[in-house]
Amino acid sequence: MSIQSVVARHLSEDRSSAFARDVIEGLAARPKRLSPKYFYDEAGSRLFEQITELPEYYPTRCELAILRAHAADMAGLLPAQTALIEFGSGSSKKARLMLDAAPAIAAYVPVDISSQWLTQEATRLRRDYPRLAVLPVAADFTQAFRLPRSLATLARAGFFPGSTIGNFEPHQASAFLQHAARILGEDAILIVGIDLVKDAEILTAAYNDAAGVTANFNLNLLARINRELGADFDLTTFSHQAFYNRERRRIEMHLASRRRQQVSVCGRMIEFGECETIHTENSYKYTVESFGALARGCGWTPVAAWSDVEGYFSVQALRAGT
Ligand code: AVJ
């Protein structure tokens, strides 16, 4: 067995025990909760891809339109010989729009928890961008991680599209921005996708699509716990809930038990009351100003913000330093 595969196996064992630990802890808590970062196993990632194509789900379409229209302006902020570091890269589709517009990007560093996905995507990127150094890092970007040493001579730009930052509690978003400032270093640029506060009906519809894909995406979390942790959730006894919490400016997703029941998870019995919910996701919405203020408090200065014509979504550029 190669050293790489030994390391990979240990990493994946660490990750699955972290998953078990988080699930047990979250289901023992009151109210019950599970982290949205666990939505994205293979089935969940496929469901999320389908979500991005739903008529009601505007964020991906809006962000792609903004990147297509303004990638050249964003590229103008990057010095020659920049490394683009993407937090949670997924398909790299958005990064390609940056790469196409910015010849200054000499290296691309996708950071993603799924190492299999990373390897496949890296192969495709090397083929399509032969002069680009592609340096994938398999890591949970919400935790501390190291950048490849070979980046030492390059300028750095972070790329965090998708409004994934909206999944963080405001204090976690602050911690992430501070952590990003630290690992990207002086004068770095950070390009972040932010979903904007808007009419509650539009927000609610985006998370309650008529085709039921978002419901399946939410329920897949229980299916994943069944598959990976040998639990016995009966998916037909839980229903998808998503609503806008105006005071906290966030969409909340929950899974509600349709009846009183007990579920076995990792050898423990978990009790559910009728209508009791598991809180599975928060998706915070910001204004351009409220996000700018948050960033300012975390070692970044907002330098530009772009939006779609309807003002639904915003891509913001920040510069390290105050
Ligand atoms: C990937 C976090 C941006 O909050 O809109 C989509 C995830 N959840 N539908 C979001 C999601 C339900 C999504 N983010």
What is the tens place of the pLDDT at every residue in 209-266? 999 999 999 999 999 999 999 999 999 999 999 999 999 999 999 999 999 999 999 9
CA–centroid distance, 11 to ligand 1, in Å, is 26
- Which residue among 167, 204, 208 is best mutated to probe the pocket of ligand 1, counting the most ligand atoms within 8 A of its Cβ? 167
CA–centroid distance, 283 to ligand 1, in Å, is 7
For the Cβ of 220 lying below 6 angstroms from any atom of ligand 1, the answer is no
Q: What pLDDT does 91 receive?
A: 75
Cα dihedral 145, 151, 152, 158 in deg (nearest 10): -60
Phi, psi dihedrals of residue 294, rounded to the nearest 5°: -60, -45
For the Cβ of 214 lying below 6 angstroms from any atom of ligand 1, the answer is yes
Nearest-CA residue for atom 14 of ligand 1: 164
d(CA 43, CA 52): 15
d(CA 90, CA 111): 9
- Class of residue 205 by CB neighbours under 10 A (exposed 0-12, middle 13-18, buried 19+): middle
Question: Residue 294's pLDDT band (boundaries 50, 70, 90)?
Answer: very high
pLDDT over threshold 80, residue 10: no
List of residues 6+ apart from 235 with CB closer than 8 A: 219, 222, 223
What global pTM score does this model have?
A: 0.93
d(CA 242, CA 218): 10
Could you give the 3-state DSSP secondary structure of residue 196?
strand
For the Cβ of 160 lying below 6 angstroms from any atom of ligand 1, the answer is no
Question: Residue 74's pLDDT band (boundaries 50, 70, 90)?
Answer: very high
CA dist 184 to 24, 99, 221, 225, Å? 34, 19, 33, 35
Q: What pLDDT does 9 receive?
A: 54
Interhelix angle 170-184/288-296, nearest 10 degrees: 60
Interhelix angle 213-229/42-51, nearest 10 degrees: 170
For the Cβ of 281 lying below 6 angstroms from any atom of ligand 1, the answer is yes
For the Cβ of 167 lying below 6 angstroms from any atom of ligand 1, the answer is yes
Q: What pLDDT does 8 receive?
A: 55
CA–centroid distance, 92 to ligand 1, in Å, is 17
d(CA 71, CA 95): 10
pLDDT tens by residue, 258-268:
999 999 999 99
Q: What pLDDT does 89 receive?
A: 74
CA 294, 300, 302, 308 dihedral sign is negative
For the Cβ of 164 lying below 6 angstroms from any atom of ligand 1, the answer is yes
Which of 283, 270, 273, 278 minimizes the C-alpha distance to 313? 283
pLDDT tens by residue, 91-118:
789 999 999 999 999 999 999 887 777 8
CA–centroid distance, 195 to ligand 1, in Å, is 10
Q: How many other CB atoms are there within 10 angstroms of residue 249's CB atom?
A: 19
Nearest-CA residue for atom 1 of ligand 1: 164
